[in-house]
């Protein structure tokens, strides 16, 4: 019988991007996605600052770095800001 995955609330990308901008080079868990392709799509959007709704918070392109890891619940996306820190 298939294992039922626990549903997580959607990631607050605006909040996560702001935190990373004020804590440059520190990795932050963005969210865990049950489907690997979803996690990779999110990670790519963060790196490129695509014009996808969630990714607009991560511009300009190249300002963020991402990594993905497999977990029991799916694939987790971590990101960090590698541009200049924004003074809050």
Residues 19-57: pLDDT tens digits?
A: 999 999 999 999 999 999 999 999 999 999 877 788 889
Q: Which two tokens stand for residue 3?
A: 């294992």
pLDDT band at 87 (very low <50, low <70, confident <90, very high): low
Closest CA to 81 of 11, 30, 12: 30
4 pLDDT band (50/70/90 cuts)? Answer: low
Contact 45, 52 (CB under 8 A): yes
- pLDDT for res 28: 98
């Amino acid at each position: 019988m298939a294992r039922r995955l626990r549903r997580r609330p959607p990631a607050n990308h605006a909040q996560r991007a702001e935190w990373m901008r004020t804590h440059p080079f520190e990795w932050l868990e963005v969210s865990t996605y049950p489907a690997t392709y979803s996690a990779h799509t999110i990670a790519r959007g963060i790196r490129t600052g695509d014009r996808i709704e969630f990714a607009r918070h991560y511009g300009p392109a190249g300002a963020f770095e991402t990594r993905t890891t497999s977990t029991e619940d799916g694939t987790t996306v971590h990101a960090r800001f590698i541009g200049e820190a924004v003074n809050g």
